Structure 1
Amino acid sequence: MTGAAPGAAPAAAPAPPARQRWLALSVLVLAVLLVGVDATVLGLATPYLSEDLRPSGTQLLWIGDVYSFVIAGLLVSMGSLGDRVGRKRLLLTGSVAFGAVSALTAYAHSAEAMIVWRALLGVAGATLMPATLALIRNLFPDPRERSFAVGVWGATASAGAAVGPVLGGLLLEHFWWGSVFLINLPVMAVLVVVGARLLPESRTPHPGPWDLPSVLLSMTGLVAAVYAVKETAVHGPGPVTAAAAAVGAGALTAFVRRQLRLSSPLLAMRLFRHRGFSGAVLADLLTILGLSGLVFFLSQFLQMVQQRTPLQAGLAELPAALGAIAAGLAAGRVARRTSVRGAVCGGLAAVGLALAGCLLLDVSASYWLLGPLLLVLGAGAGLSFTVTADVILSSVPEEQAGAASAVSETAYELGAALGIALLGSVVTGLYRGFATPAGVPEAAADEARESLGGAVEAAHGVPGAEGEALLDAARETFTEGLRAGAGVGAAVLLAAAALSWRLLRGQRLADTAENPGE
């Protein structure tokens, strides 16, 4: 930790030597890797967890969603807190909490306890992502080095999300469901021990107070908005989702108005007057919308339509991670040799075209079709996401790095929620209307229409050819819904590419440090 006297609030220290900078980056990406793994690993563990804890349908939804709800709600607040108390201090404190709560989650004894621990894991996770990106800004004052470092950061985030299903599938074939959370402990221990030595402290030189009403408004608005989006995707519009949307919109409006009045706001809303910043945030959100929306339903397609094991499904999705890693590492160079808007629009267009390619999928689709589509999808997302993160980080003064990083991460979480909601509403809407074969009992047909997983269970209870026909019809209709959802996603991403071309006009990545004397 910093050795400054209490209340001194020093400015960021000079960047450390090159060797220490890159070693520090390797520590930071450990945190990013684990947050990415934790966001996706639970999906494979859910059937085993359900058998052990016996959650109700509502409890199961909360177990799956509360982590992302809390992270989305707290990112802006935690980014601003790191600017005030110190980004290194917040990162190390959050890492200790993340490890401790991971252990509690692994040994949860009831569905209620699981929901509580997952929520607290979200609180700890919200401290990690904005702090890592803001520290990169402090570690790498040279823009070219920083672009590569942001590329490593983005590639690791993509790798974590993709490694989650593979690692989860491997662990679940040999251990109980809690093992997917215990893997966090040794990694966090390394992060804390090594990070305490290598990471420099940085914070805002003269921070104002951390405004609690702004924190509550931000949390309420974002959680309500994400909840409304996700519930609409699962259950369709209704009075509950409408009320949540109204609460979210009201709280976020009040949050924005309050920020414009405060002398030391939680989030400087004037950042959004910068066309490049706003365009990068929008592109960030839409990139993840396309990526997460497809991957969420593709996991079900691979396991329940093409009948792959969890490990096989995770391995099948690896090309998306490989594409994202390669494109993320090259993104800074591509953006400088072409242009920022060329790189971002090209990435968005690649994601849109990969989604359009999914219109060719059918129940027996060969992996020779799916694998290349996932590679293009990941490469496009990695290119766009990394360049936009660099633009967001470079568009603000260093003292606002934490808040700007939090905006980038909030766009990521909202994009994931909107992607699942947008494609989910199309997939679910088509799926629930499928015609069940003759001879299938009405109760089994109703269960099958609830979800593809429900169809698998219902088919087991229907003897003979009728059960097989029910499952075949469910798989075929789900695949039709997946194609339709991918088509909608493709239209959105291609329109986003055109919009980003306009918003990012003239935007460039810097070639020299803003303050060479640092």
Structure 2
Amino acid sequence: MIDTLTDSTATSPARAGWREWAALPVLVLAVVLLAIDATVLSLAVPALSRDLAPTATELLWIGDVYSFALAGLLVTMGTLADRIGRKRMLLMGAVAFGAASVFAAFAPTAGMLILARALLGVAAATLMPSTLSLIRQMFRDPTQRRTAIAIWSAGASAGAALGPIVGGALLERFSWGSVFLINVPVMIVMVVAGAFLLRESRDPRPGRLDVLSAALSIVAVVGVVFAIKELATHGVSWLAAAVVVVGVIAGVVFVRRQRTLAVPLIDLELFRNRAFSGSVLADLIGVLGFSGMIFFLSQYFQLVRGYGPLEAGLRELPAALASVVVVVIVSRVVGRLGMGRAIATGLLVGAAGLVLLAVAEGADSYLWLAGALALVGLGVGLAVTLTTDAVVSAVPPRKAGAASAVSETAYELGVALGIALLGSLQVVVYRLVLDVPSSVSPQTAAAVRESLASATAAIGGSDAPQAVEVLQHAQHAFTIGMQTTAVIAAVIMSVAAIVAWRVIPSTRVDASARRR
């Protein structure tokens, strides 16, 4: 039976019942899997490179095309879900994700794998806004909704941390295709359970979908994400500059068009809402600092401390486990501090964790690093949960898909910016600190200056005293770069905390006063 929800509070209970709570794991399962899929591929690169022999350009596209498709289509898919039904979009996306996973696992060439990864990104864009918008519909009570979003957010954090662990365990026993095939049984469970437990919901007054606006949004977002990745990988180039110009022009035209449409793809008036606009910005910056840290930490554990992929993944778990604690404390924190101050507090806790991470690197005991990771996970988890709640709560339930898409787009941009900006900064510091003796061959010296990964590949297996010394210098330079980057990320998160404190309202709002 289709239960088409409207803005009327009379058509839905004030508090969620057993069916809603039973359906929540289905939605969390989706974000866990998508987060795992975003991080697990990096471990499979050596194995698939041996089998498919991709060129350097093809290898970059295998890694990047997923995020391009995902980020570019989120707004369109979120708005489309409001029109045709969020449950329907979720189940369609799950089926498509499972099929694309099989395609990827058995891709015979690098080109086919790139196509499969693009299809995975399209399916992920179909899934993600639907998960969050369905939570907005299922949990109308503010306290219950915050708890549900905290569980959803913890699932995303846990998935990102579990990616290296799952990937390491699979790749020790199976081929690289196993990192994709693991998606299939999970998607089957999602489709079966979702069909029974989820209620359908849609916008009862959707209006016409403006195809030109959808195309402009895709060009604008993909242009920005592509340019960020191009700058991070190759530095300043004409290609990056051209793509930025195209993306900015598309974005400007998109904004102007939304102001003239009777039913815009995104209601720009939402950004006049301080809770909405401030939360989107805080979400982006919080994720920026967190994603940059995880990116460097994985390399640090493996290339500096010498852990294998599986052990490195286990060492990162404190951040994911701490984010689970948010489920227990989120309602108490926001009830005591108010939304804006609670988000600011979360960002400050995350910033403190990043500073401790920079200091704890030299400690003999891993416990200091574990404590730093726990602080980051707790702080960012709290901030992301509350910013997400603020964004989806700022719109009536019938527009939940579009608002969810804005929140997810901010998240994806935060991930891209975190890896690109903090990655570029880390590389700059690494090369400034690095001291390569003149006696090292030009080819080896070039590899060492490129990155710690290439230095390890070039001389990591050598027992020669000079090779060992050069590698130690490279590890030291990487560590200095990571520490510097962590401190700067902490400063950025602290600035975001000030913005959240001043911009996002902190008055307690009664549930009955919320916009329905």
- Deviates most, 504-513 or 152-161: 504-513
Residue pair 2:220, 2:246 contacting (<8 A) in 1 also: yes
CA deviation after TM superposition for structure 1 residue 205, in Å: 0.7
Residue in 2 that maps onto 1:105: 104
- Unaligned 5+ runs, structure 2: none
In the alignment, structure 1 residue 459 sits paired with structure 2 residue 459: yes
Residue in 2 that maps onto 1:367: 366
Residue in 2 that maps onto 1:480: 480
Structure 1 194/461 Cα, relative in aligned 2: closer, same or farther at 3 Å? closer
Residue in 2 that maps onto 1:231: 230
Task: Kindly report the root-mean-square deviation, in angstroms, between the aligned alpha carbons of the 2 structures.
Answer: 2.0
In the alignment, structure 1 residue 489 sits paired with structure 2 residue 489: yes
Any idea what SS the aligned residue of 1:432 has? Answer: helix
CA deviation after TM superposition for structure 1 residue 460, in Å: 4.6
- Equivalent-residue separation in structure 1 for 2:113 and 2:408 (angstroms): 25
Residue in 2 that maps onto 1:502: 502
Residue in 1 that maps onto 2:21: 22
Deviations 1:37-67 (A, max 9, x none): 1111112222222222222222212111111
Residue pair 1:36, 1:157 contacting (<8 A) in 2 also: yes
One-letter amino acid matched to 1:275: R
Structure 1 439/387 Cα, relative in aligned 2: closer, same or farther at 3 Å? same
Q: TM-score, normalised by structure 2?
A: 0.95
CA deviation after TM superposition for structure 1 residue 431, in Å: 2.2
Residue pair 1:276, 1:507 contacting (<8 A) in 2 also: no
Residue in 2 that maps onto 1:262: 261
CA deviation after TM superposition for structure 1 residue 511, in Å: 3.6
One-letter amino acid matched to 2:125: A
Residue in 2 that maps onto 1:333: 332
Deviations 1:144-185 (A, max 9, x none): 211111111111111111111111111111111111111111
- Equivalent-residue separation in structure 1 for 2:282 and 2:37 (angstroms): 24
In the alignment, structure 1 residue 55 sits paired with structure 2 residue 54: yes
One-letter amino acid matched to 1:84: R
Structure 1 370/461 Cα, relative in aligned 2: closer, same or farther at 3 Å? closer
Structure 1 513/128 Cα, relative in aligned 2: closer, same or farther at 3 Å? farther
- Equivalent-residue separation in structure 2 for 1:11 and 1:346 (angstroms): 33
- Equivalent-residue separation in structure 1 for 2:460 and 2:377 (angstroms): 36
Residue in 2 that maps onto 1:165: 164
Deviations 1:216-261 (A, max 9, x none): 1111111110111122122222222111211111111111111111
CA deviation after TM superposition for structure 1 residue 497, in Å: 0.7
Deviations 1:325-349 (A, max 9, x none): 1114421331112211221001111
- Deviates most, 226-235 or 85-94: 226-235
- Equivalent-residue separation in structure 2 for 1:247 and 1:515 (angstroms): 37
Structure 1 302/17 Cα, relative in aligned 2: closer, same or farther at 3 Å? closer
- Equivalent-residue separation in structure 1 for 2:302 and 2:376 (angstroms): 20
- Equivalent-residue separation in structure 1 for 2:60 and 2:452 (angstroms): 16
CA deviation after TM superposition for structure 1 residue 506, in Å: 3.6
Residue in 1 that maps onto 2:449: 449
Residue in 2 that maps onto 1:299: 298
Q: TM-score, normalised by structure 1?
A: 0.95
- Equivalent-residue separation in structure 2 for 1:467 and 1:89 (angstroms): 58
- Equivalent-residue separation in structure 2 for 1:118 and 1:510 (angstroms): 44
Residue in 1 that maps onto 2:125: 126
1:241-390 equivalence runs, <5 A: 241-362=240-361, 366-390=365-389
Structure 1 460/316 Cα, relative in aligned 2: closer, same or farther at 3 Å? closer
- Unaligned 5+ runs, structure 1: none
Any idea what SS the aligned residue of 1:440 has? Answer: coil
- Equivalent-residue separation in structure 1 for 2:35 and 2:463 (angstroms): 42
Any idea what SS the aligned residue of 1:435 has? Answer: coil
Residue pair 2:154, 2:324 contacting (<8 A) in 1 also: yes
CA deviation after TM superposition for structure 1 residue 359, in Å: 2.6
Deviations 1:481-515 (A, max 9, x none): 11111121111111111111111134545444748
CA deviation after TM superposition for structure 1 residue 138, in Å: 1.1
- Equivalent-residue separation in structure 1 for 2:437 and 2:256 (angstroms): 56
- Deviates most, 240-249 or 291-300: 240-249
One-letter amino acid matched to 1:104: F
Residue pair 2:460, 2:471 contacting (<8 A) in 1 also: no
Residue in 2 that maps onto 1:31: 30
- Deviates most, 427-436 or 119-128: 427-436
Any idea what SS the aligned residue of 2:265 has? Answer: coil
Structure 1 206/48 Cα, relative in aligned 2: closer, same or farther at 3 Å? same
- Equivalent-residue separation in structure 2 for 1:53 and 1:364 (angstroms): 42
Deviations 1:428-474 (A, max 9, x none): 11223422124211011112222222111111576722221221121
- Equivalent-residue separation in structure 1 for 2:328 and 2:259 (angstroms): 37
Residue pair 1:445, 1:458 contacting (<8 A) in 2 also: no
Structure 1 352/304 Cα, relative in aligned 2: closer, same or farther at 3 Å? same
Deviations 1:396-419 (A, max 9, x none): 111110000111101100011111
- Equivalent-residue separation in structure 2 for 1:59 and 1:510 (angstroms): 53
- Equivalent-residue separation in structure 1 for 2:511 and 2:332 (angstroms): 11
Residue pair 1:444, 1:462 contacting (<8 A) in 2 also: no
Structure 1 462/158 Cα, relative in aligned 2: closer, same or farther at 3 Å? closer
- Deviates most, 308-317 or 427-436: 427-436
CA deviation after TM superposition for structure 1 residue 382, in Å: 0.6
- Equivalent-residue separation in structure 1 for 2:58 and 2:449 (angstroms): 20
- Equivalent-residue separation in structure 2 for 1:241 and 1:430 (angstroms): 23
- Equivalent-residue separation in structure 1 for 2:67 and 2:304 (angstroms): 27
- Equivalent-residue separation in structure 1 for 2:346 and 2:369 (angstroms): 19
- Equivalent-residue separation in structure 2 for 1:129 and 1:214 (angstroms): 20
One-letter amino acid matched to 1:63: I
One-letter amino acid matched to 2:410: A
1:170-209 equivalence runs, <5 A: 170-209=169-208
